[in-house]
Amino acid sequence: MQYAPRVDHKENDMIRNFVGRTLIVTGAARGIGLALAKRLLNEGARVHACDIDEMDPADVQPGLILHRIDVCDETAVSGFFNELKSAGETIDGLVNNAAILDATPFDKLSSQRFREVLDVNLEGTLTFIRHAVPVLKGAERPVIVNVASIMGMFGSRASIPYSSAKGAIVNLTRCLAADLSPQGILVNAVAPGFIETRMSKLPDGSSEYATEDFQDVYLKHGRLPIGRVGQPEEIAGPICFLLSADAAYVTGQVLLVDGGVSAVF
């Protein structure tokens, strides 16, 4: 059976439509956030890369401005945006990608853990947006993109905190699109499917996508129509579309980038 192959984008394949634009990416130290930051840099943008973790020095490139920020620390987030305002920087876009995964079974889930996951994945997103809006209003074409998940669209076992937070981000995106449109700010989201990142690693270091259960259910029985898991770069592209002028009439939408899982769910 012939499946759609992975496309490895090269720098000279990119359309440089972010020249002169400055964007913020949270959770940018690795995975989807890092792939997006690199893609934006290759397309001419300046990128403020925010993460609670340090970025690998090998990934640091010219035009990438690093910030160690916990999205749950409102004082730190406020200070970050105050610095941008003091420097007179115009921010053209914000991508809320910072998140933590949780796979706690219902009978072992504590209120504290539920709150921790929502604090990072949901409230951290809203905190960044609240502080970003006054800065974004100065941009010619301001845009916000939230990273949701297909786990926020459908039910799944042992996924209450994570799926609840991502589901809330879906409707947060829709509500913000309505609230912020009078200020000219577009708000959309992407919902990735099975993507090979640090989040997909099991405690022993192996990939959850290499397990017999995943291979059987999603690959052998066709519940992942494209026939393979995705790579972070394959989420970066759709996010760039939503950040670009090509999406100037798109707001309040959730773009599922999942290899077709939702089509046969």
Catalytic annotation, residues: 162
Angstrom distance (rounded) from CA 231 to CA 113? 28
Specify the pairing of strand 46-51 against strand 22-26.
Answer: parallel
User: Which amino acid, residue 188?
Assistant: N
Find tokens 């290899």 and name the residue: 259
Let me know: does 141 contact 188? Beta carbons within 8 Å. Answer: no
Chain Cα centroid distance, residue 43: 18
Q: How many residues does the chain have?
A: 265
From 10, 11, 33, 22, select the one nearest 63 (Cα to Cα).
Answer: 22
In this structure, what token pair is assigned to residue 13? 């394949």
Question: What's the half-sphere exposure (Cβ side, CA atoms, 13 Å) at 140?
Answer: 6
Angstrom distance (rounded) from CA 208 to CA 42? 31
Chain Cα centroid distance, residue 223: 23
> Facing residues of 254 across strands?
189
Angstrom distance (rounded) from CA 201 to CA 121? 19
Angstrom distance (rounded) from CA 33 to CA 232? 8
